[in-house]
């Protein structure tokens, strides 16, 4: 924050964990994005591949490369705060969708039609390029959480 700028304290409830004695990490979900779950598998060429681990790895690499601007929303999802994250001027949700490792959730972006349009365009482009999971068969992350699995995982 620039010096002399007014700051406003913000409070939110989150599940937190201690990384060490004076560093705490809090979990939140990306607004308008549903990425493949860490243990989720997708199908490519008749075999399973770890699309969820690929999503986690991409997010970790992106966050490791620069400071993240986190803008909290007043919403919550699965009991966690929801936020948008910008890294190096790029929207993390859009990065994940463009890589074919997440799907947009436009129902949560009604108040932000510009972001909803960017996410939809990134999704169409990822499908067209057959990026990430779109190279083969995949299950929506929400359906996977409910127990639906691709044929290669059964």
> Per-residue pLDDT averaged across 40-55, rounded?
94
Is pLDDT at 24 greater than 90 in this prediction? no
Which of 26 and 133 is assigned the larger pLDDT?
133
H helical segments located in the chain? 51-64, 92-98, 113-129, 141-145
pTM (2 d.p.): 0.86
DSSP-assigned letter for residue 86: E
Measure CA 84 to chain center.
9
Q: Output the six-digit token pair for 23.
A: 């560093």
The closest alpha carbon to 66, from 88, 91, 86, belongs to: 88
pLDDT band for position 153 (cuts 50, 70, 90): confident
What is the residue-averaged pLDDT of the chain? Answer: 88
């Amino acid at each position: 924050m620039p010096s002399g700028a007014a700051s406003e304290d913000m409070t939110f409830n989150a599940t937190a964990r201690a990384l060490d004695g004076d560093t705490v990490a809090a979990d939140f979900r990306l607004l308008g994005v549903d990425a493949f779950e860490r243990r989720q598998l997708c199908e490519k060429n008749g075999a399973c591949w770890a699309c969820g681990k690929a999503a986690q790895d991409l997010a970790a690499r992106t966050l490791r490369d620069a400071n993240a601007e986190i803008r909290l929303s007043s919403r919550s999802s699965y009991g966690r705060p929801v936020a948008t994250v910008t890294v190096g001027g790029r929207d993390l949700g859009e990065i994940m969708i463009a890589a074919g490792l997440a799907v947009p959730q436009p129902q949560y972006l009604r108040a932000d039609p510009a972001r909803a349009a960017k996410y939809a365009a990134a999704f169409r482009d990822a499908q067209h390029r057959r990026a990430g999971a779109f190279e083969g068969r995949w299950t929506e992350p929400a359906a996977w959480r409910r127990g639906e699995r691709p044929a290669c995982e059964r």
